[in-house]
Structure 1
């Protein structure tokens, strides 16, 4: 059983997947920062600072009028935080679009590199082993 596990772990697929997960986690931090620190403030300026995060409905309990979502949670009220959910959806759509644009850009660069490789002239190939053997055979027949 232990040997099977070692074989499984040593396969390239598992190692590639592990590297992908680690890079994905680092990439998530970059994209989250890009969206939160650069894109959302620009969207906030354009949309007049629309933020639904503090929109909620009180299901049970007492909450002071105009209290923030955090204050309502601290008061112990049972709340339906639909505004936070709407903002999560908006952030997801923005992040998905940014990732789409990044992947599209990477694919474009990759395709350009592939075209350059294809366009590069191939070095002339030498004779095959069979051709060399045929030449030697013919030269030996001619000398005999």
Structure 2
């Protein structure tokens, strides 16, 4: 059961799943904002120009306040979602430990001095070094 829960947690906290959840939530909130814009601005303007209704200043103020309320709700939803994702990202990054960096130096087996990790010859004793191992090939000069 514990393995199942761990697998589900890995699945749910994957980047793609989180992106999809954010998209659905923001999409729903934006849909409410667009509906409010349509109901409170576009329809009344169309009704006015087609001769259907005449609006008072009180009606216009009501339309405007309703739209502002929808806009504030959208901004609050987006801000809360942003804060929630920051916390989730912080928690998931705590679980992942950074991989140790590759060593930048190694030790020459002959003279025991520190040399660059990708060196093929020791700059101190001039011994030839075999790649990726600590074995040394000594080339004699005559």
Alignment TM class, shorter chain as reference: 0.3 to 0.5
Higher relative contact order (CA 8 A, sep 6+): 1
TM-score under structure 2 length normalisation: 0.40
TM-score under structure 1 length normalisation: 0.40
Please state which structure has a larger fraction of its residues in helix: 1
